[in-house]
Chains A and B, each alone.
Chain A
């Protein structure tokens, strides 16, 4: 595919049809995994918020009642964790934070103002996406550890009650962090950035999309030299 892309982009100019040409951004496995994670997180969010606030307890009723929510929440937590760890295995190289990201991080105010043309070029994922990924990754480790303590809380002897005390606090605090990350993720990918949502459904983005938002990655894919040759390739 790369060779083909090179041959098609041999002239420096890009015409309108090339702008609309498709580039694979997410493989089928990546998309399926993403939606397993997304659906399990949605369930975890609904049931978790039900346990979080009496004003949101009705959310548990929507998914089968409080007892069912308590029974299934840990299992969905395992599904979400499995989905995340698979993502980690597949994407850890893409998610490494490098000098290009540090340069990009300095331009975050421009990114917030949607002045993306002022941003340094980035690879497959930008610094914000990497922060999102690592935020979720470390949060899930903490949620998993505290979650197991809450799942089988009755098996903890009284002498280890501090584990319960720590678990309720860690689980709620870290869940809040993931809610913040989740909201930003959904807003940015489903609303803010044109063409992003569809890429997680059908797997494709246009050349113009890739050039606009992930320029280093774009040139990687079409086989031209990377804008910053010093970047370590994972």
Chain B
């Protein structure tokens, strides 16, 4: 990594220890979204559009704060609102910033057939390289979070980059920078995980949210966007966050066992045909025998008999 070029291990003529030697730097980045302190202001949406150069999309009205049903190819960051009535009859407005989760085991990448159209960086960012995208849409099938979105005119698929262009030069993602309540945090995965767990514990002990917890689903190997939820047992309440997201089993089956079975069958078939040719050769055309008749059968004796009967019948 680039840090290796600035990290010293020996210094000539230097008294004492090498400064920074043995430093163990964590490359894994993480975005923490604390849904309990989100106010639904949508500043993160605006920042995302501005940084990435997109304009506002047409909104829809569905009797709630929800401005559009889901993210779009040019709208990568959307707050999902849910007016949730709790068991005691009180109402909660649940708000979750929806965007790419940057899975450690990304379904989009597993499903993608195009060379280098999706890459995963050592810092955990999963990024689409649109110049290599062929627009097949398999990533949309592989993703358990409904994130990659297709743009028909360009026939390319787009999604949140976790501001890879900002993070790679030491800046935090645009959404993080815009958040006015501090519900968005950005740092290393371990720092964010620790902060999230601290906040969840605080919610459980001080705020009466018994089921508060952190959403960092194991099914996709953990994610580089994690949530603090008041009710971690029911993530579906937060705009359909899947409880146990996994790469769909049909994609797994298609990309691994079926692939090897199919490859083996194709190669085996070609080899089998070559062996057949070497063992049995060509099917030759036989000259029609003089005594050939429609009722001649395969058995030689029977053939003769039938030929005789045939002749007799005609004469």
Chain A residues at the B interface, C-beta cutoff of 8 Å = 12-14, 16, 18-19, 50-54, 57, 60, 65-67, 69-71, 112-114, 116-120, 150, 153-154, 158, 161, 164-169, 172-173, 176, 179-180, 183-184, 187, 191-195, 206-209, 211-213, 215, 219, 224-227
Give the docked Cα–Cα distance between A71 and B137 (Å).
Answer: 12
Give the docked Cα–Cα distance between A156 and B137 (Å).
Answer: 11
Residues of A within 8 A of B292 (CB): 12, 14, 211
Q: 11 interchain pairs (CB within 8 A)?
A: A12-B290, A13-B290, A67-B135, A154-B140, A158-B70, A166-B250, A176-B262, A184-B269, A184-B273, A212-B286, A219-B294
Q: Do B286 and A211 touch across chains, with their CB atoms under 8 A apart? A: yes
Residue in B141, B266, B282, B297 whose CB lies within 8 Å of A165: B141
Q: Do B283 and A169 touch across chains, with their CB atoms under 8 A apart? A: no
Q: CB-CB contacts of B106-119 with A at 8 A, as 1s and 0s?
A: 00000101110000
Give the nearest-CB partner of A58 in chain B: B115
Q: Do A53 and B259 touch across chains, with their CB atoms under 8 A apart? A: yes
Interface-forming stretch among B46-54, B78-86, B145-153?
A: B145-153
Chain A: minimal CB distance from B256 (Å): 12
Residue in A57, A60, A112 whose CB lies within 8 Å of B276: A112
Residues of A within 8 A of B55 (CB): none
B155 within 8 Å of A by Cβ?
yes
Give the docked Cα–Cα distance between A226 and B295 (Å).
Answer: 8
Chain B: minimal CB distance from A96 (Å): 21
Give the docked Cα–Cα distance between A137 and B265 (Å).
Answer: 21
Q: Do A18 and B283 touch across chains, with their CB atoms under 8 A apart? A: no
Given contacts A67-B135, A154-B137, A194-B284, 14 further A-B pairs with CB under 8 A are: A52-B113, A54-B113, A69-B134, A70-B136, A116-B283, A158-B146, A161-B141, A165-B141, A169-B258, A179-B262, A191-B277, A193-B282, A209-B285, A224-B293
Chain B: minimal CB distance from A150 (Å): 7
Known: A153-B137, A154-B152, A168-B141. A113 touches B298 (CB 8 A): no
Residues of B within 8 A of A176 (CB): 258, 262, 265-266
Known: A66-B134, A71-B155. A14 touches B289 (CB 8 A): yes
Chain B residues at the A interface, C-beta cutoff of 8 Å = 70, 111, 113-115, 132-138, 140-141, 146, 149-150, 152, 155, 248-251, 253-254, 258-259, 262-263, 265-266, 269-270, 273, 276-277, 280-298, 310-311, 314
Residues of B within 8 A of A166 (CB): 250
Residue in B155, B289, B293, B310 whose CB lies within 8 Å of A67: B155
